[in-house]
Amino acid sequence: MKYIVSTISAVFLTMFLAGAAPGAEQPVKRVVAVIDADGVQRVEMQAGGYFFDPGHITVKKDVPVELVVKREAGMTPHDIELKAPEAGIDFSVDITTEPKVIKFTPTKAGTYEFTCEKRFLFFKSHKDRGMHGVLVVVE
């Protein structure tokens, strides 16, 4: 009997620990864009609940950028928005499971936040659930 009780508590402890894991902050994946032979900095990005991968992207100023963005399969809609017209960056795009290409040329060094602006009813926005990242433009 004692054995059964300890087995049951071990199972519950395992379930508890496993359940705690998804709430933990995932490490942000960082990428420094490389300039392709045709002079474009291409970065492939995956979006999902609730993350951008990579979530930290470094690009060079005055070099065209192409973000190739798609989302994981499932019903949850996602978008990506970055409003920094002073730096030549201004987009708001719904992300689909088919890759979409977002083109811009950053004209000003700085750190700019991109977000997913989706929200389901009165629940926390995707941004507030961790769906945001930064684009760093360097000289």
Site string for Cu ion, 113-132 (x = CB under 5 A): ---x-x-------x----x-
Contact call for residue 137 and Cu ion (CB under 5 A): no
Total of residues contacting Cu ion (CB under 5 A): 5
Order of strands, edge to edge, in the sheet holding 41-48?
Answer: 51-53, 41-48, 65-71, 100-104
Site string for Cu ion, 76-115 (x = CB under 5 A): --x-------------------------------------
Do 47 and 70 contact (CB within 8 A), yes or no? Answer: yes
* CA nearest neighbour of 69 among 49, 52, 57, 91: 52
Whole-angstrom distance, CA of residue 111 vs CA of residue 56: 10
Do 132 and 117 contact (CB within 8 A), yes or no? Answer: no
Site string for Cu ion, 27-66 (x = CB under 5 A): ----------------------------------------
Which residues contact Cu ion (rule: CB under 5 A)?
78, 116, 118, 126, 131
